[in-house]
Amino acid sequence: MNRDFMRSRVQRGPLGDILEKVEAGLRLSFEEGVRLYEAEDINAVGFLANVVRERLHGDRTYYNVNSHINYSNICVLWKACKFCAFGKKEGQQDAYAYSLEEIFKMAETLGRGRTEFHMVGGLHPDLPFDYYLEMIQGIKEIHPQLHLKVFTATEIRFLADHIAKMSVEETLDHLVRSGLGSLTGGGAEIFAEPTRSRICKGKHSGEDWLEIHRIAHNKGIRSTCTMLYGHVESNEDRVDHMLRLRDLQDETGGFTTFIPLAFHPENTQMDDIPSTGGMLDIRNYAVGRLLLDNIPHIKAYWIMVGQPVAQISQRFGVDDLDGTVVQEKIYHMAGAKTPHELTVNDIRRLIREVGREPIERDTLYREVTRQGDQWAVHA
Amino acid sequence: MTTATTAFYEAIEKAAAGERLSYEEGLALLEGDDLVALGAAADDLRARLHPEGYATYCVDRNINYTNVCDVYCTFCAFYRPPGDHPESYIRTRDEIRQKLDELYAVGGRQILLQGGHHPDLRIEWYEELFSWMKSEFPDLHLHALSPPEIHHIARLEDMPYEVVLTRLNAAGLDSVPGGGGEILVDRVRDKISRLKVDTEGWLGVMRAAHNLGIRSSATMMFGHVETDAERVEHLHRLRKLQDETGGFTAYICWTFQNDGAAPLKAQTVGSSEYLRMLAISRLYLDNIANFQSSWVTQGMKIGEISLHYGCNDMGSTMLEENVVSAAGTTYALNEDDLHRMARNAGFTPRRRNFFYELI
């Protein structure tokens, strides 16, 4: 293949030295990360990210047949996290907490033929620890094959300190015994202070978020990681955030995927901030791909950025489009105009049209073979 | 891996160096899927043609004078057939005055006036409408009647295009929009718009307009029944006419939008196909200065990105848009949104008039 046009164009340009490092497989620095954010030539940044993407994954783009259940939106941090339209105070209109019966009933239908449940909720002040244990145990009984990717580090910290009243280690042990498969990556927001305090004063610190993932990884629990962007953070905050993830990954290797999350302002306390632009969306994927040399996958969550950006992101570092997703509430309460579900055919078309090859995966990125609702993974 | 042939990269390199592409080279570009390479080359050409770092736009509005139409294009969800249909309309003077007042209130001085092929509206009707508009709003720029409409009037009146255009121009028509171009290949037109003006007719109207000193824009609607070769054919015909007349001010392409409202059942193609075709168009159409973004069909996020895939212009604020929105896709923006779109992409937003003069 002749890539000389792009390669020599980038080589001659202001990112030439970064190209050299990327091609040699060398790690990029903080300053280089900031330069990638400041670079005017978005296609050059995309080219660089694509070099890494294709080295790791060729033309494969992964997707997942999954469902979401947001068990409750009642959250003690309802006011603290200014970027959130989902969390509600107990007793407030629209506040809800599903009973276990309701969840099992939902799970019955939602879980059919799916490989994964993604379940997160607010920090509910009163639900007992048994609620969580029984919830995952009960779902596993209904669908033993289903992988439960459940709870953010923020929920784990809250459960450990205020509900289970035990250490994070013990809390995780109980959850794993009940059927927890892996942790979700939410709650990371932006690690750097003072930005973190400006958007979610009172939430646990970035260090604590990382500590909980460290503990989980050391127990063999895999997880994903995220970054909330498009609010008041700087380029430096973003790069700092990614490099802290990279450091932990060097230590544990437990992250499967990095997912940049676009801030949606509607119905939040920060609704004076405009929605993120497409340039920033694709740049975050590309810079993430380039800085996070030790995290295997970069995911575009189409629910949040929309299908058009998710499609072209596959040329800007992304190799994963998340799932078919049923029942998503968090982003839709913040004004997301995306549909609630894409069919497998929709997702495969989004992938094929941009010249990539769709591969169904399970939570741990093992290839899935499927016949209707019957599926199996290759070890 | 990215599939692209040596011919693909050779064509990109040639275009990026400012050389003209042959038909075969255009086709080679359509056979590769290296999106960022196409974008980068198109961005280089855009920067060479428009080094100021502006992303321009104009403040205008659409007025559709009638939705009655007897050509039944299969991709269209806007028209209503002639006869007694409860949703048919012809805009009254009062309605038009109100729309123009709204436009003037936000500082706009340009309208895009288009409609269906109404079998009963004679040339005098248009002349009277235009004269009236110009007497009421003397500084209005009237960007009006796409080639199919001009062709329709010419056929109805049994007059040559030149005569129709001269009369309408005298009555107030300032420039001609590029609508109805679709794909300028008769095989495609027979499939999607059999009763509409054919390729030679569309080009003939534009040639006649340009020869009379009336400028126009050029368009392309793709992603339906056309082949790659027919896309290049389309670009080739536009480039050839532009060599001859130099009358096109701008080019805009968009993808066929299907939400089920129109009879044509092609699947709407995605953002990657839009950006790819846009960039290829920029590389091929070396003689058309300005490229407009179709954020109306693609949304604001892709609108931003299109400014690095060949576009130097964001079109207009589209105060009222009925045709694309009849097919289900509708994005409305105000001037602030356009400014943000430009800045997010690293450009300074600048307002312009029809002739791309900065205001």
In the DSSP assignment, the letter for residue A213 is: H
Does the CA dihedral B47-B48-B53-B55 come out positive or negative?
negative
Interface membership of A3 toward B (CB under 8 Å): yes
Interface membership of B298 toward A (CB under 8 Å): yes
User: Which residues, listed in sequence order, are joined to residue A258 by a DSSP beta bridge?
Assistant: A225, A298
| Cα Rg, chain B, nearest whole Å | 20
CATH code, domain with A288: 3.20.20.70
* A4, A47, A349: residue with CB nearest B9: A4
Domain enclosing residue A32, as ranges = 4-54
The answer to whether residues A22 and A161 belong to one domain is: no
Tell me the chain B residues in contact with residue A314 when contact means C-beta distances shorter than 8 Å. 272
How many structural domains does chain A have?
A: 2
* Cα separation, A14 vs B82, whole angstroms: 60
* Cα separation, B108 vs B320, whole angstroms: 13
pLDDT in the model for residue B329: 47
Interface membership of B267 toward A (CB under 8 Å): yes
Whether residue B301 and residue A306 make contact (CB cut-off 8 A), yes or no, is yes
Domain-located, residue B358: no
* Cα separation, B198 vs B187, whole angstroms: 10
The answer to whether residues A66 and A24 belong to one domain is: no
Tell me the chain A residues in contact with residue B33 when contact means C-beta distances shorter than 8 Å. 354-355
How many structural domains does chain B have?
A: 1
* Cα separation, B82 vs A320, whole angstroms: 50
User: Which residues, listed in sequence order, are joined to residue B350 by a DSSP beta bridge?
Assistant: B56
Whether residue A279 and residue B304 make contact (CB cut-off 8 A), yes or no, is yes
Degrees to nearest 5, angle at CA B110 with B157 and B148: 30
pLDDT in the model for residue B321: 58
Spatial contact of B347 and B54, defined as CB atoms under 8 Å apart: yes
pLDDT in the model for residue A328: 63
Tell which of B269, B305, B337 to mutate to test the A interface (max A CBs under 10 Å).
B305
Domain-located, residue B56: yes
Interface membership of A377 toward B (CB under 8 Å): no
* A5, A44, A349: residue with CB nearest B9: A5
Residue pLDDT, tens place only, A114-125: 999 999 999 999
Domain-located, residue B357: no
Interface membership of B271 toward A (CB under 8 Å): yes
The answer to whether residues A21 and A145 belong to one domain is: no
Chain B nearest C-alpha distance from A59 (Å): 5
* Cα separation, A284 vs A185, whole angstroms: 16
The beta-strand segments (E) located in B191-261 are: 215-222, 248-255
CATH code, domain with B24: 3.20.20.70
Chain B nearest C-alpha distance from A58 (Å): 5
Interface membership of B326 toward A (CB under 8 Å): no
Residue pLDDT, tens place only, A256-315: 999 999 999 999 999 999 999 999 999 999 999 999 999 999 999 888 899 999 999 999
Chain A nearest C-alpha distance from B31 (Å): 11
Spatial contact of B234 and B28, defined as CB atoms under 8 Å apart: no
Q: Smallest Cα–Cα separation from A241: which of A201, A185, A202, A203?
A: A185
The answer to whether residues A9 and A157 belong to one domain is: no
Interface membership of A59 toward B (CB under 8 Å): yes
The answer to whether residues A231 and A350 belong to one domain is: yes
**How would you write the pLDDT of chain B (359 residues) with one tens digit per residue?**
456 678 999 999 999 888 999 999 999 999 988 999 999 999 999 999 999 999 999 988 889 999 999 888 888 888 898 888 888 999 999 999 999 998 888 888 999 999 999 999 999 999 999 999 999 999 999 999 999 999 999 999 999 999 999 999 999 999 999 999 999 999 999 999 888 899 999 999 999 999 999 999 999 999 999 999 999 999 999 999 999 999 999 999 999 988 777 788 888 899 999 999 999 999 999 999 999 999 989 999 999 999 999 999 999 876 665 555 555 544 455 788 899 999 999 999 999 999 999 98
In Å, what is the CA distance from A99 to each residue of A72, A132, A137, A259, B216? 9, 11, 14, 30, 64
The answer to whether residues A287 and A302 belong to one domain is: yes
* Cα separation, A90 vs A93, whole angstroms: 9
Domain-located, residue B356: no
**How would you write the pLDDT of chain A (379 residues) with one tens digit per residue?**
446 889 999 999 999 999 999 999 999 999 999 999 999 999 999 999 999 999 999 999 999 999 999 999 999 999 999 999 999 999 999 999 999 999 999 999 888 889 999 999 999 999 999 999 999 999 999 999 999 999 999 999 999 999 999 999 999 999 999 999 999 999 999 999 999 999 999 999 999 999 999 999 999 999 999 999 999 999 999 999 999 999 999 999 999 999 999 999 999 999 999 999 999 999 999 999 999 999 999 999 888 899 999 999 999 999 999 887 665 666 667 667 676 677 888 899 999 999 999 999 999 999 999 988 899 997 6
Interface membership of A312 toward B (CB under 8 Å): yes
The answer to whether residues A25 and A68 belong to one domain is: no
Which class for A100: exposed (0-12), middle (13-18), buried (19 or more C-beta within 10 A)? Answer: middle
DSSP B46-85: HHHH-TT-EEEEE-EEEEESB-B-SS--TT-SS-B-SSS-
* Cα separation, B9 vs A8, whole angstroms: 12
Domain-located, residue B1: no
* A43, A54, A282: residue with CB nearest B40: A43
In the chain, the amino acid numbered B171 is A
* B40, B271, B340: residue with CB nearest A311: B271
Tell which of A1, A4, A304, A305 to mutate to test the B interface (max B CBs under 10 Å).
A1
Whether residue B344 and residue A58 make contact (CB cut-off 8 A), yes or no, is no
The answer to whether residues A43 and A66 belong to one domain is: no
Interface membership of A56 toward B (CB under 8 Å): no
Tell me the chain A residues in contact with residue B305 when contact means C-beta distances shorter than 8 Å. 42, 278-279, 282, 312
* Domain end among A32, A54, A76: A54
pLDDT in the model for residue A188: 98
| Cα Rg, chain A, nearest whole Å | 20
Interface membership of B269 toward A (CB under 8 Å): yes
Chain B nearest C-alpha distance from A293 (Å): 20
The answer to whether residues A90 and A20 belong to one domain is: no
Domain enclosing residue B327, as ranges = 6-351
DSSP A6-75: HHHHHHHSTTHHHHHHHHHTPPPPHHHHHHHHH-S-HHHHHHHHHHHHHHHHTTEEEEE-EEEE--B-B-
The answer to whether residues A188 and A67 belong to one domain is: yes
Chain B nearest C-alpha distance from A116 (Å): 27
Whether residue B305 and residue A2 make contact (CB cut-off 8 A), yes or no, is no
* B9, B273, B344: residue with CB nearest A277: B344
| Count of A-B CB contacts under 8 Å | 119
* B1, B267, B345: residue with CB nearest A279: B345
Tell which of B25, B272, B306 to mutate to test the A interface (max A CBs under 10 Å).
B272
User: What stretches of A120-263 show up as alpha helix (H) in DSSP?
Assistant: 129-142, 153-158, 168-178, 195-200, 206-218, 235-252
* Cα separation, B342 vs B53, whole angstroms: 10
* B12, B13, B301: residue with CB nearest A278: B301
The answer to whether residues A319 and A275 belong to one domain is: yes
Contacts of B19 (CB under 8 A, 6+ apart): none
Whether residue A1 and residue B2 make contact (CB cut-off 8 A), yes or no, is yes
* Cα separation, B81 vs B74, whole angstroms: 13
The answer to whether residues A148 and A40 belong to one domain is: no
Residue of A nearest to B267 (CA): A349
Specify the length of chain A in residues: 379
Whether residue B33 and residue A59 make contact (CB cut-off 8 A), yes or no, is no
Which class for B83: exposed (0-12), middle (13-18), buried (19 or more C-beta within 10 A)? Answer: exposed
3-state secondary structure of B5: coil
pLDDT in the model for residue A378: 78
In the chain, the amino acid numbered A249 is Q
Whether residue B344 and residue A306 make contact (CB cut-off 8 A), yes or no, is no
Tell which of A8, A42, A290, A338 to mutate to test the B interface (max B CBs under 10 Å).
A42
- Report CA B243 to chain centroid distance, whole Å: 19
